[in-house]
Amino acid sequence: MDSKPKVNRKTNWAGNETWCCQETVCPASLQELQDCVRYSEKHNIKIKAIGAAHSFSDCAATSGIQIDLKHLNKIISFNPRTKVIEAEAGIRLKDLYLFFNNNNVALPSIPNVDEITLGGAISNATHGTNIFYGTYSSLVREIKLVTANGEMLQLQDDARNTKGQQRFEAALASFGALGIFYSITLKLEESYDVLVQRYSTALKDINDEIESLARKHDGVQFMLFPLQGLAFIKTQDKIRCGLQPYSKQSIRSIWVFESILWMFKPKRWQLLTKLFQKVFNSKIFLSILRKLYNSSNVTNWSDGELSRHKSRFFNMEYAIPISRVKEALDAIFHTTQEFNHTGAYIRCLPFILRPVGADTLGFLSPTYQRDTCYIDILFQAADSNEISFYAQLEKDLLRVDGRVSWSRKFFASSEDILQRYSHHTKFLDVMEELDPKGIFVNSFVSRIFESGSKQSPH
């Protein structure tokens, strides 16, 4: 590392977060990673890991040394009998999936993007759409974590002492606050295909059925358009591999459907929003959109959930107790109608709902100890009126015990965030133990714990 490093500018995938760090280092081994951390601790320089930079919050930002994990992307070990795998934290999910498919194993639930890294997925409690499984945190059996003194800790889900248990639970969904993940060990299952079915219906017909539908399928996603009174539903059900061929026609239709939706997103269309809204409300247009969406196909487990994003975006996301999802929808639909009525803001993009099961471990997992429905809110143009709209939506969702998603945009205060995590003081205990100088603390971590009951982070 250069003793007089040059300041360099970083940005996330979406382009909504930028920061300047002193230096970017790309370790290619555990030893090199440990050396970087020891150097940082010795010289009291902030340090932070970054993977695919796919988070829409500033959780990976640092003013000090940025550790790019792109070279720590190897499979370390795999046991085909027990279906347990250890991989370095910088491996992309798409490369991990390729290895899984070549070895007839799979994950029980996956997110809709495969460009992110394994370490990032665990750090931010990335999730799929399956109510019978929790976030990625629920799949983890062991984490190898490099802490502030350069030591590598082996943290296991079945630790037999209180300190080991608390360290493991804190490391899950820790957004880089405790150290840098070197490797993750996961428990897999036998490979499978999924029957994917897409259909549309009147919003009023499913507004009370979110949880029951979630429990009938191995995966469900809802796209809800309150101004149009429409719901687009995608279900997944696991089946034995090789029963039916892949349906290319339905995939082309979905590509067209998603492309039409993205017409309403970019800033260049901002002045034409009202015109688009009239078009979108027309019976002919809605009929075409529904025909494009309604389809079914059988595909490999790793393709059923994926969305190939046509443009860059950022969003907000809140984890709502599934028992209160009806209250949440009533509140945000009311806000949407009010803003539309006054002309302050017209919502074109849908609200996206993804049911996820409870995580039994993970002090700061948004699904900790409760079955959840994530509500995903895409930003359209991010003008001042839209920001007011999003701020009001967040208030609506916090009132029904919503928890923010660490990798997404949010406006909530530290107090609003922490009161929804009953074990956040245990997390702080571990953070103070493993990082006494606060070299892994950045503006994001400081903001989260600003009102923590313990002394504020460094």
Question: Which amino acid type is present at position 357?
Answer: G
Q: Which residues, in sequence order, are CB contacts of 43 under 8 Å at separation 6+?
A: none
State the Cα–Cα distance between residues 31 and 50, nearest whole angstrom. Answer: 18
Six-digit token pair at 97? 């999936």
Q: Where in the chain is the domain with CATH 3.40.462.10?
A: 193-414
Position 383 scores a pLDDT of 63
CB 194 within 8 A of CB 246: no
Q: Which CATH architecture has domain 193-414?
A: 3-Layer(aba) Sandwich (3.40)
CA distance 154 to 145: 7
Checking phi first, is residue 330 left (phi over 0); if not, alpha (psi -120 to 50) or beta?
Answer: alpha
75-190 maps to which CATH number? Answer: 3.30.465.10
CATH topology for 8-68? 3.30.43
Tens place of pLDDT for every residue, the chain, 458 residues? 554 445 689 999 999 999 999 999 999 999 999 999 999 999 999 999 999 999 999 999 999 999 999 999 999 999 999 999 999 999 999 999 999 999 999 999 999 999 999 999 999 999 999 999 999 999 999 999 999 999 999 999 998 899 999 999 999 999 999 999 999 999 999 999 999 999 999 999 998 899 999 999 999 999 999 988 999 999 999 998 766 555 544 555 555 666 666 555 545 445 555 566 666 667 777 788 888 888 898 999 999 998 877 678 889 999 999 999 999 999 999 999 999 888 778 787 899 999 999 999 999 999 999 999 999 998 876 566 788 999 999 999 999 999 999 999 999 999 999 999 999 999 999 999 999 999 999 999 999 998 664 545 66
Query: Which tokens belong to 156?
Result: 């296991």
Contacts of 214 (CB under 8 A, 6+ apart): 131, 220, 322, 355, 373
Q: Which residues of 411-426 are buried (b: 16+ CB within 10 A; e: fewer)?
A: ebebebbbebbebbeb
Ramachandran assignment for 137, one of left (phi > 0), alpha (psi -120 to 50 degrees), beta (any other): alpha
Q: Which of 110, 86, 35 is nearest to 65 (CA)?
A: 35
- Chain region(s) in the chain for CATH 3.30.43.10: 8-68
The letter for the amino acid at 49 is A
Distance between CA atoms of residues 25 and 273, nearest Å = 44
CA atoms within 13 A on the CB side of 43: 14
User: Which residues does 278 contact at the CB level (< 8 Å), separation at least 6?
Assistant: none
Domain with CATH 3.30.465.10 in the chain: 75-190
CA gap 243, 191 in Å, rounded: 13
Identity of the residue numbered 126: T
The secondary structure element, H or E, covering residue 253 is helix 248-262
3-class DSSP state of 183: strand
